[in-house]
Amino acid sequence: MTTANKLTIARVVMIPIFLAVLYLDVPGAKYIALAVFILASLTDFVDGYIARHYNQVTDFGKFMDPLADKMLVCAAMCWFVEIHQMPGWALLVVLLREFAVSGLRMVASDKGRVIAAGWSGKVKTFSTMVCIILMFLPIPGWLNTLCVAVIVVTTLYSGVEYFVKNADMLAQA
């Protein structure tokens, strides 16, 4: 197993730890959870760098890395919805985009095409992780609202871009 794949697995393992810490009724639990989230987020960038730089790109990594990102981000957003810091519709936008893009990738895969992550998807992931980190901190309401808006807008933009660039896949379906 490659180093990049081990980091992806470590990120998946950190998700239940992140959630468990969030629900602990002890002082500082939110900041410990934030530290776990940051560490998990950093593994995303490190494993991507290692995979590309050291030619450790694997089918497992192509599948698990984006799935681990989605699981981590959605876990945090579910918690924000639960504590009324994010509207449920914003989480729904993110979930619908992820299901739609995953479906498009499956259709493309059946046709022999691999749809790689585009720059807008990478920007979406990075900006979403940064916004989630900010939302864990004591920020003013307007900044929290801005973070939710950035998450929604980058999610919608990247989702539309995937479908526009791969419209031919839908025409063949």
Tell me the per-residue pLDDT of 108-141, one tens digit each, with 9 for 90 and over: 888 888 887 789 998 999 999 999 999 999 999 9
Which pLDDT does position 48 carry in this prediction? 87
Tell me the per-residue pLDDT of 9-49, one tens digit each, with 9 for 90 and over: 999 999 999 999 999 999 999 999 999 999 999 999 899 89
The domain containing residue 138 runs over which residues?
3-172
What distances in angstroms separate CA 56 from CA 12, 40, 102, 171, one per listed residue? 19, 19, 23, 34
Domain containing residue 11: CATH number:
1.20.120.1760
Tell me the per-residue pLDDT of 44-64, one tens digit each, with 9 for 90 and over: 989 989 998 999 988 888 888
**Helix/strand number for the chain, H first, E second:** 7, 0
- Residue 124 makes CB contacts below 8 A (sequence gap 6+) with 154, 155, 157, 158
- Count of the separate structural domains present in the chain: 1
